[in-house]
Structure 1
Amino acid sequence: MATEAQGAEEGGLVFHPMDQFIVKPLFGGENIGLFTPTNVTLWMALAVVAIFALLVLGTRGRAMVPSRAQSVAELAYGFVYKMVEDVAGKDAVGFFPYIMTLFMFIVSANFLGLIPMSFTTTSHFAVTVVLALAVFLTVTVVGFVKNGTKFLALFWVSSAPLPLRPILAIIELISYFVRPVSHSIRLAGNVMAGHAVIKVFAGFAAISVISPVSVLAITAMYGLEILVAFIQAYVFTILTCVYLKDALHPAH
């Protein structure tokens, strides 16, 4: 900290790419309690508002010639519905509203996080872990309710030689309980990394010698982050469909 302060006093280049992920109270102060509105609260609420505006207000006319908002809403609906049907099977269509909600929330939060001076809620593990745990618990409960003890067949690799099956069962069991960890870290880690890199390039933009290169790098990274925002929502959703398929058809 002393080195950074000294560099700032001497007019050196000092920037903190991780500062953009700090959770702050909306109405001042430093203490954050259980019910304290924060920047995370604000941008999660804006994501919900954006989804409502697109899927409810944008489609309320149900016109034969759809508006732009209705076209996007119908495209998102068809995209997720086909994903659920193709990956998890037709008997998983009943879970489509839940999976559609997951996809729309994550993709909306990711894109809102690309607005300058905004806050990316999906860069925080506190958010992605809750989403991943919700999927994990839902899939586990569905698996036992739907199949009873037959759900445990998911961990027993019957096609493997008999002496290896207990070892593989332990590996499969560990892999199953690691799912919410990898599910959440993948989303938060990729989103956080991209935003941090953009902030680093933005810091170098203050140096006149390399400013043009920095601006080009920021532009390229921003374009990549637009793609990442969609891909990470897609990956999270398709993994949810894969886990749901295991719950519905554990013997497959």
Structure 2
Amino acid sequence: MAIEPETKGGLVFHPLDQFIVKPAFGDGAVNWYTVTNLTVWMGIILLAIFALFVLGSRGRAIIPSRVQSIGELMYGFIYKMIEDITGKDGVKYFPYIMTLFVFILFANFIALIPMSYSPTSMIAVTATLGFGSFVAITILGFVKHGASFLKLFWMSDAPLFLRPIIAVIEVISYLVRPVSLSIRLGGNIAAGHVVLKVFAGFAALAVASPAAILGIIAIYGLEVLVAGIQAYVFTILICVYLKDALHPHH
């Protein structure tokens, strides 16, 4: 974070500077082929996931190690969630949902390392996850049910004169889903990092230092919870949307 003294003796905070995408090596323009800080940290996230689920479980011991236990707990947790929400029909989509959960979880937690970068604070990343899942689930609904998928928007139990109005509301609500997924995840992660940077800036001041340090500790603890909760919320909403695609009726 850049903190510069003003001519009037105050401080200027730039907490959003941490989200700037820039070349990881050297300076210059960012092109599609440029290795940036974003791509470097996404690579680190993938390596961490590989280390946990591939290297950590290669022994496959009956009495699992700590690393293997963590992987198995995640596996069982997501599998049970998918089965409870979507039923047996949704279990076949476990690999995709598990991948989403693990990537978001690791991205959120690794971003809490000082001097790291937070991919899930970038709307480009969260929009790719949200809109990509939305399009895939919508296509799945039409492939499995054809035009009957549109029953998702038609409340047959409602009074006849209200059905068209409800249908319009349901369509709008459905189309907003990827937007809410993207903004909820990116907004919550970005907001937490901004607050941490602001408190870190105040910690540099001798007068405000003790209170700012306590604030950093409190906010950091909260962000640890947010990191897990946001990954869970994103994943469980994907499961709910998948259920609608598999069973498009009210």
Bin for the TM-score computed over the shorter chain = over 0.9
Aligned to 1:57: 55
Instruction: Indicate which of 1, 9, 20 corresponds to 1:22.
Output: 20
- Does the C-alpha gap of structure 1 residues 229 and 6 become closer, same or farther in structure 2, counting only changes over 3 Å? closer
Equivalence for 2:90: 92
1:66 matches 2:73: no
| Inter-partner Cα distance in structure 2 for 1:185 and 1:67 | 37
SS of the equivalent of 1:29 reads coil
Unaligned runs of 5+ in 1: none
The aligned counterpart of 1:76 is 74
SS state at 1:69 partner: helix
Q: Secondary structure at the match of 1:63?
A: coil
Q: From 188, 193, 196, give the equivalent of 1:195.
A: 193
What's the CA shift for 1:10? 6.1
Task: Supply the distance in 1 between the matched residues of 2:44 and 2:156 (Cα, whole angstroms).
Answer: 48
5 Å matches for 1:89-168?
89-168=87-166
> Deviation at 1:6?
8.2
Q: Does 1:175 align with 2:170?
A: no
* Cα-to-partner distance string for 1:129-184 (whole Å, 9 max, x where unaligned): 00001110111011011111110000101111100111111111111111110010
CA distance in structure 1 between the aligned counterparts of 2:226 and 2:18, rounded to whole angstroms: 18
- Between the aligned partners of 1:133 and 1:32, the Cα distance in structure 2 is 24
SS of structure 2 residue aligned to 1:99: helix
Describe the SS at the equivalent of 1:15.
Answer: strand
Percent identity of paired positions between Structure 1 and Structure 2: 64
Q: 1:248 aligns with which of 227, 246, 249?
A: 246
Q: Is the 8 A contact 2:4 2:13 kept in 1?
A: no
User: Given the alignment, which residue of 214, 231, 234 partners 1:233?
Assistant: 231
In the alignment, which of 188, 193, 202 is matched to residue 204 of structure 1? 202
Instruction: Please tell me the root mean square deviation across aligned C-alpha atoms, in Å.
Output: 1.5
State the alpha-carbon separation in 2 of the partners of residues 147 and 5 from structure 1. 57
- Tell me: CA distance 1:5–1:51, structure 2 relative to 1, closer, same or farther (3 Å): closer
C-alpha separation between the residues in 2 aligned to 1:18 and 1:79?
35
How many Å separate the matches in 2 of 1:76 and 1:5? 40
Aligned residues: 249
- TM-score w.r.t. length of structure 2: 0.96
- How far apart are the structure 2 equivalents of 1:7 and 1:54? 44
Gaps of 5+ in 2: none
* TM-superposed deviation, 1:11: 5.5
Instruction: Kindly state the Cα deviation for residue 64 of structure 1 after the two structures are TM-superposed.
Output: 1.3
Show CA shifts across 1:37-75 (max 9, x none): 111101111111111110111011011111111010000
Provide the rounded CA distance (Å) in 2 between the counterparts of 1:246 and 1:5.
Answer: 49
How far apart in 1 are the matches of 2:98 and 2:4? 51
TM-score relative to the length of structure 1? 0.95
